[in-house]
Amino acid sequence: MQGFPIPPNEKERLRELRALRFGEWDTRAALDDLCAVAARLLETPMALISLVDRNEVLFAGKTGLDADRVAREIAFCAHTIMTSEPLVIEDATSDPCFCDNPLVTESNIRSYLGIPLETAPGLRIGALCAIDRKPHAFAESELQTMTKLAGIAVSLLKSYRATLDLNDQMAPAIELQKQMLPSQARIDGIQAGCPLELASCYQARDGVGGDIWGLKPPGLSVFCYTSPISQVMALRPRSTPPGFILSSISRDSARTSPHRCCGA
């Protein structure tokens, strides 16, 4: 068995992979679900979304297998990222590149269809693949289906990265807002007389601005306007338009002027 191939732009490719911040994701359920759809549509027992790292291949999403990574040296996906074309292996036992691969000789992998995941022009960071333990003649319609699912996988990967990047950008604004708000206060008409920890209740919306950006008192059920990074909580019925007036806030028994809440 030969060693794994290395793309000519490996340095840039690994930089793009690091930018995805895989280890910081809160959930990968959507990627697992996408793999389950791929396996069902292609009638294979396994499918996975791989991220090809320097020396190993990580499984960002998977169905039908317990492992969460494999050595890059034996990974089929290490070959998939070499071109923008699908890698199709109908019977690995008769393929000179893979017939002596431990995944074939020991794990009984027979067929593989991999679609490279390109998150930036020319930078293929992994693959969406369907795997079977028996020979499989993949039809053209199956290649088209997997290509469309791979596009969805790329969109999900980019959305995870964008969310983390946006959280980083918002962190200074959120911290500044916590410092500006009183440590305790009460909001008229809501649990009157019961102090609320405003620093933990309020969150900034899309940037610094406005008197009050969002409210979510613990245990209080109120209607929310959503925004990309947080929820802007409205204390009136759904028909209340953006820019509603929030009841005045009291601090140390001294009433302040009414505060206008940011619109959605």
- Over residues 246-256, the pLDDT tens digits come to 333 333 333 33
Same-domain status, 148 and 68: yes
Q: Would you say 198 and 184 are in contact if contact means Cβ atoms under 8 Å apart?
A: yes
Q: What is the C-alpha separation between 246 and 105, in angstroms, rounded?
A: 68
| Cα distance between residue 59 and residue 69, in whole Å | 6
pLDDT in tens, 29-38: 999 999 999 9
Residue ending a domain, among 109, 142, 166, is 166
d(CA 258, CA 260): 7
Residue 36 lies in a domain: yes
Q: Is residue 3 part of a domain?
A: no
- Rounded distance, CA 103 to CA 226, Å? 47
Distance CA 204, CA 178 (A): 9
What is the residue type of 144?
A: Q
More confident residue, 249 or 173: 173
- Residues 123 and 19 occupy one common structural domain: yes
Same domain for 31 and 107: yes
CATH number at residue 33: 3.30.450.40
pLDDT confidence of residue 203? 43
Q: What is the C-alpha separation between 253 and 11, in angstroms, rounded?
A: 61
Residues 230 and 136 in one domain: no
Inside any domain, residue 44: yes
Q: Report phi then psi at 225, rounded to 5.
A: -95, 135
User: For residues 31 and 128, what is the distance between their CA atoms, to the nearest angstrom?
Assistant: 10
Residue 242 lies in a domain: yes
120 or 229, higher pLDDT: 120
48 and 128 in a single domain? The answer is yes
126 with 55, same domain: the answer is yes
End-to-end Cα separation, the chain, in angstroms: 58
In this structure, are 186 and 96 located in the same domain? no
Q: Which of 113, 131, 166 is the last residue of a domain?
A: 166
Residue 5 located in a structural domain: no
Statement to judge: residues 149 and 186 lie in one domain: no
Neighbour count for residue 187 (Cβ, 10 Å): 22
- Tell which residue, 125, 133, 178, has the closest CA to residue 39: 133
Residue 135 confidence (pLDDT): 97
Contact 61, 160 (CB under 8 A): no
Is 50 exceeded by the pLDDT of residue 139?
A: yes
Q: Report pLDDT digits (tens) over 192-216.
A: 444 444 444 444 344 444 444 344 4
Residue with tokens 């923008």: 84
| Number of structural domains the chain divides into | 2
pLDDT score for 178: 64
- Same domain flag for 121 and 195: no
Average pLDDT over residues 102-126: 96
234 lies in some domain: yes
Q: Same domain, yes or no, for 88 and 51?
A: yes
Domain end point (choices 166, 196, 229)? 166
- Indicate if the pLDDT at residue 69 is higher than 80: yes
133 and 217 inside one domain: no
Residue 41 structural domain: 10-166
Of 11-15, 125-129, 144-148, 206-210, give the lowest mean pLDDT range: 206-210
The answer to whether residue 187 scores a pLDDT higher than 60 is no
CB 225 within 8 A of CB 234: yes
pLDDT at residue 240, rounded to an integer: 33
Q: For residue 123, name the pLDDT band (cuts at 50, 70, 90).
A: very high
Whether 14 and 134 map to the same domain: the answer is: yes
The full length of the chain comes to: 264
Residues in Cβ contact with 149 at an 8 Å cutoff, skipping those fewer than 6 apart: 34, 37, 38, 41, 115, 128
For residues 59-65, average pLDDT: 96
| 40 in a structural domain | yes
Is 47 a domain residue? Answer: yes
